[in-house]
Amino acid sequence: MSEKANPFPPRGPADEIEEGLAFQPKFDADGLIACVATDARSGEVLMVAHMNAQALQKTIETGEAWYFSRSRRALWRKGESSGHVQRVVELRVDCDQDALWIKVEQQGPGACHTGRRSCFYRAVPLGKIGAVKLVFREEGRAFDPKKVYGDK
Amino acid sequence: MSEKANPFPPRGPADEIEEGLAFQPKFDADGLIACVATDARSGEVLMVAHMNAQALQKTIETGEAWYFSRSRRALWRKGESSGHVQRVVELRVDCDQDALWIKVEQQGPGACHTGRRSCFYRAVPLGKIGAVKLVFREEGRAFDPKKVYGDK
C-alpha cells in the first residue's frame, strides 16, 4: 500500500497506543486489520473479516461497513451484491490497536454468503480428544444464496 | 509447524468446508487462526487473539482458552499469569473455517492486560473525515495491572 493510501498516523510508543486518544490502527504485512462484526441488538458475532486502510476510512466516513476481500483482492462494500448492508452503530479498537469491533444493524435476513444470519452457524464440541464433528446451531437458512447472489 | 503438530484433518472442497460436519480449521502462513472471545453473559467482545493448532486442541480438550502469543512466540494459557482464566461455554467456527468464536465465562475482573474488562475500551467516532480522536468507553480499570502482572 502506498503511503498516500493510508491516511492514519504512524504508530507511537506502546503507552500512547494503549492509553492515548490517537487512532493508530496497525495494519499487517498485507495492509489488513481484522474486524469483528456483531449484531447491535443480539450481541451475536455475525462475521470476522478484514479491512485495509481505505475500507476503514470508508467505514468511518459513511457509517456503513466496508471490507477488503482477501480472495478477490478488492475493496468490498458489505451488501454491494446482496443488499445486506451493515449500518455501523459503533466502531471500537482494541488495546494494541490491531483489531476492530463494529456493532452493526444488519440489513436483510443475514450476514453470511451461505444464507445464514451469522457465519458462525456451527459449533465444535468441547471435551473431546481426537477428531470432532461439528454441530449445526443455526438450522435452515435465513435466505436462499442462489436467489440473492445468482447461481455461481 | 510440523505435520505431527497439527492434529486437524486436511481441508476439503469449499462445499464440504461450508456445509459439512468435519472440523477443518484453516491456519494461516504462520500457523495461526483468529479467535474472538465474547462474554457468555453480556455478549461483549472481550478480545481478539490467535490460536495455533496446539492451542486450539488444548482449548477443545480442556474447555479453557489457550492462545498463541505472537509477540512472545509461545503457547499461552489465558490467565496463566493473572489467574483471569476463560472457561469456554461454546466454541464456534465460521463458514470458511478460518475464524473461531468462543463464548467464555471470564474469571476475575477483566480480560485485558491493561486492567479493563474488555480490550475494546475505546471507540472511534463515525462520520468524520480526516484525523479522529478516540473516546474512552470503559472508564477506570477493573483491576490494577501492576498488582496482577507485577511492575514490568
Is residue A140 predicted with pLDDT exceeding 90? no
pTM for this model (two decimals): 0.94
Query: What is the per-residue pLDDT for A2?
Result: 45
Give me the residue from A47, A124, A131 closest to B93, CB to CB.
A124
CA A109 – CA A94 distance, rounded (Å): 29
H-only helix segments in B1-152 = 14-19, 53-62, 145-149
Alpha-carbon dihedral sign for residues B133, B135, B140, B145: negative
Q: The C-alpha cell of A71 is what?
A: 480472495
Query: What is the per-residue pLDDT for B74?
Result: 97
* DSSP assignment string, chain A: --GGG--SPPP--HHHHHH-SB--PPP-TTS-EEEEEEETTT--EEEEEEE-HHHHHHHHHHSB-EEEETTTTEEEETTTTT---EEEEEEEE-TTSSEEEEEEEE-SS-S-TTS-SSS--EE--SS--S--B-EESS-S-SS-HHHHH---
ipTM over 0.90: yes
Q: The C-alpha cell of A108 is what?
A: 436483510
Tell whether A7 is within 8 A of chain B (Cβ): yes
Tally Cβ neighbours within 10 Å of residue A41: 12
CA A2 – CA A137 distance, rounded (Å): 43
B26 by DSSP, 3-state: which? Answer: coil
Query: What is the per-residue pLDDT for B1?
Result: 45
- pLDDT digits 0-9 by tens, B127-147: 987 778 999 998 789 999 999
Mean pLDDT value across chain A: 93
* Nearest chain A CA: its distance from B118 CA (Å): 8
Closest residue on chain B to A10 (Cα): B131
How many inter-chain contacts (A to B, CB under 8 Å) are there?
A: 143
Partners of A9 on chain B (C-beta within 8 Å) are 131
- pLDDT digits 0-9 by tens, B23-35: 999 999 999 999 9
Query: Is-contact A8 A30, C-beta < 8 A?
Result: no
From the list A89, A88, A76, A80, the residue with the least C-alpha distance to A49 is A76
Query: What is the per-residue pLDDT for B95?
Result: 97
Is residue B17 predicted with pLDDT exceeding 50? yes
Q: Give B122's strand partners.
A: A93, B136
Best of B18, B90, B126 to disrupt the A interface (most A CBs within 10 Å) is B126
**Which residues, numbered 73 to 102 in chain B, qualify as contacts with chain A under a Cβ-Cβ cut-off of 8 Å?**
88, 90-96, 99, 101
Tell whether A129 is within 8 A of chain B (Cβ): yes
Q: The C-alpha cell of A38 is what?
A: 456483531
